[in-house]
Structure 1
Amino acid sequence: MSDKVTDPTDAPLYPIREVSRLTGVNSVTLRAWERRYGLIQPQRTPKGHRLYARDDIERIEQILQWLNRGVPVSQVRELLDQPAAVEAPDPIAGDWSSQRQQLSAALEAYDMARLDALFNQCMALYPVATCLNELLKPWVETLEEHWNEQLGATLQQRTLEAFLRTRIGTRLYHANQINQGGTLLISRLPDDAGNLWELLVALAASQAGYRVRLYDTALPINEMPLAAERLKVDALLLCSGQAERAELMRRQLPRLAEQLDVVLGLCGPVARIRAAELADSQVAILGDDPLQAITRLSPLLQH
């Protein structure tokens, strides 16, 4: 049964759940764009349900193009309303820098209410992919650089990990109920004392439609084949922000890849650092960008 609705002019209209499926923008974000910024103006049924025309869907796609270029949502409307395509003004990119600074200030002050508000605002107003690319990944990279030389870094890191584990974990739980993609087991490697990278990869995987099983602590290498079999996963993704031990990279992971019946992928900075050493192995080097890693994984699962 189709979700399309036809208006008197025979033009198809789409309910919000179908528009969300077509564009990848969740319904909460679509409502926020409408209520807070007037970016889209869907029609309404007599009961108040939103109905979107094809023009609305095309406008949403234009909004996504501007957001992907770094334009803050508050400035998109004036660009959409201009009669001809224009280049994004240079100062706009600074908005993301400002948001990252605000997140850092909230974390440094251990102001969890402020951190929560900033995180929720971004996730409500922007697609997950934009939040990952423009906010979360560069923020984590900056934090890790500072933590190497900062007193109290461990406390900050553990605070952020606990915060993101709760927020991202909740999203994973609900997404796992509806996602139809394969199942991914995501775990960090033993030398990485934190789990920030596996959380970012898990968020990217969930956004792409995969069901995610996430472990906070590193699984023993010798138990990973058993875990993949018992949990019936389609791929095992290992993440780390560290270089990891040479023995692990050169011997244990290649041997593990040969033992597994599913894809073994390497994500996070470790994938960039150790790419050359694993080039001739069966380990899939997915890179340090969470979204690109999941994109690179997709064709490997179709073989």
Structure 2
Amino acid sequence: MKTTQDQSLLVKEVSELTGLSRQVIRKWEDRYGIICPKRHENGYRLYTLEDVGTLLKICGLKDKGHSLKEALHILRSQESSDVVPKAPLSGDVIELLEKGANYDEAGLLLLLKQAHHRYGLENFLSNTIQPLMFEIGELWARGEWDESQETITSLVIRDFLVQIRRNFDLGEGAPIILGSCLPNETHEIPLHIILLQAMMHGWQTIAAGPSPKLTSIEYLVQRLKPEKLLLSATTTLPFERDPQLFEKLEAIASRHQETEFFLGGHGVCSHEIFLAPKRIRIAYTMDEVLN
């Protein structure tokens, strides 16, 4: 797994990852424009993980019997269909963003309570919290919000979701899902959203908190014996900080085979092609975890 910040790969590494010869990679690049690597100051081509993923998709389509031109057409059609117009923000989200921009914690909390009671938990999570968190991330990335605005707003949202989860009524004997961020992952809110969704399906949930040590995760699995463990990676930082992280997680999973191990989140998608799951399942949706 590449661990540099820009995840730059040389053509030799791309060849090893994809099984394509260097000549084929350069031919596809120059003749068809399938990928467009950058150039280092020394002239070497520098490829990305996205380039590797594109090449693997083309290879997969060719393995299914498509010609190269057909594979290119299918891939580009899929890419164009994936571009979905951004939905307009609801009035609730706009008001919440205004409160967050002004560091109004009390105002944020009041609006969150009102939206929760107005829509019910399921719609509150999908129509208010998820678009709100996405927009906060966009504002921060564009430099329109500073770190303090993002941090304070996120803390209010996180604490509110934790309060809902702790007050959720479940029957006795409900099966347990343990949720945990990966080491070096501090974005908790996506995990709390998923755990609340699990509770609506009758699961008792326990959260391990942000950036726990691997020893802490294993201790909780050993102590609580959950039916499922959901590991969350919103960013790629856990894998960049520890290139052997996935192998270490697999070792923990092999020692606790009574628990199903799941790994999900946006940070996993960038690295999935490098993972070789044995005991751990890569999950893209909550349904994959629950079913």
Q: Is the 8 A contact 2:92 2:128 kept in 1?
A: yes
Counterpart position of 2:124 = 131
Q: Is the 8 A contact 2:177 2:230 kept in 1?
A: yes
Aligned with 1:265: secondary structure? Answer: strand
How far did 1:211 drift?
A: 1.1
Is 2:275 aligned against 1:282? no
Q: Is the 8 A contact 2:264 2:282 kept in 1?
A: yes
Is 2:217 aligned against 1:220? no
Q: 1:240 aligns with which of 183, 208, 233?
A: 233
Counterpart position of 2:288 = 296
Is 2:268 aligned against 1:271? yes
Is 2:140 aligned against 1:147? yes
How far did 1:109 drift?
A: 0.8
Counterpart position of 1:256 = 252
Query: How far apart, in 2, do the equivalents of 1:297 and 1:164 lie?
Result: 24
Query: How far apart, in 2, do the equivalents of 1:171 and 1:143 lie?
Result: 21
How far did 1:108 drift?
A: 0.7
How far did 1:100 drift?
A: 1.8
> Aligned ranges for residues 1-303 of structure 1 at < 5 Å?
94=88, 96-150=89-143, 153-175=146-168, 178=171, 181-243=174-236, 244-246=238-240, 247-261=243-257, 262-278=259-275, 280-287=277-284, 292-293=285-286, 295-299=287-291
Q: Is the 8 A contact 2:103 2:153 kept in 1?
A: no
Query: How far apart, in 2, do the equivalents of 1:234 and 1:153 lie?
Result: 40
Q: Is the 8 A contact 2:186 2:211 kept in 1?
A: no
How far did 1:177 drift?
A: 5.0
How far did 1:200 drift?
A: 1.7
Specify which structure has the bigger relative contact order, considering alpha-carbon pairs within 8 angstroms and separated by 6 or more residues: 2
Q: CA separation of 1:236/1:108 partners in 2, compared to 1, >3 Å: closer, same or farther? A: same
Counterpart position of 1:16 = none
Query: How far apart, in 2, do the equivalents of 1:173 and 1:266 lie?
Result: 24
How far did 1:180 drift?
A: 5.2
Query: How far apart, in 2, do the equivalents of 1:196 and 1:211 lie?
Result: 18
Identity among equivalent pairs (%): 18
Q: Is the 8 A contact 2:181 2:210 kept in 1?
A: yes
Q: Which runs of 5+ in 2 are unaligned?
A: 1-86
Q: Which amino acid aligns with 1:263?
A: E
How far did 1:181 drift?
A: 3.2
How far did 1:145 drift?
A: 2.9
How far did 1:97 drift?
A: 3.1
Q: CA separation of 1:219/1:251 partners in 2, compared to 1, >3 Å: closer, same or farther? A: same
Query: How far apart, in 2, do the equivalents of 1:266 and 1:176 lie?
Result: 27
Q: Which amino acid aligns with 2:290?
A: S
Query: How far apart, in 2, do the equivalents of 1:103 and 1:115 lie?
Result: 6
Q: How well do the aligned residues superpose, as a CA RMSD in angstroms? A: 2.5
Q: Which amino acid aligns with 1:272?
A: C
Q: CA separation of 1:176/1:185 partners in 2, compared to 1, >3 Å: closer, same or farther? A: farther
How far did 1:206 drift?
A: 2.1
Q: Which amino acid aligns with 2:97?
A: S
Query: How far apart, in 2, do the equivalents of 1:285 and 1:179 lie?
Result: 30
Q: Which runs of 5+ in 1 are unaligned?
A: 1-92
How far did 1:228 drift?
A: 0.8
Show CA shifts across 1:166-221 (max 9, x none).
22222222225547531111111223233222222222222222111112232211
Query: How far apart, in 2, do the equivalents of 1:248 and 1:219 lie?
Result: 16
Query: How far apart, in 2, do the equivalents of 1:285 and 1:258 lie?
Result: 16
Query: How far apart, in 2, do the equivalents of 1:199 and 1:185 lie?
Result: 11
How far did 1:248 drift?
A: 4.3
Show CA shifts across 1:264-297 (max 9, x none).
112321233333333543222222xxxx32x211
Query: How far apart, in 1, do the equivalents of 2:139 and 2:278 lie?
Result: 34
Q: CA separation of 1:181/1:160 partners in 2, compared to 1, >3 Å: closer, same or farther? A: farther
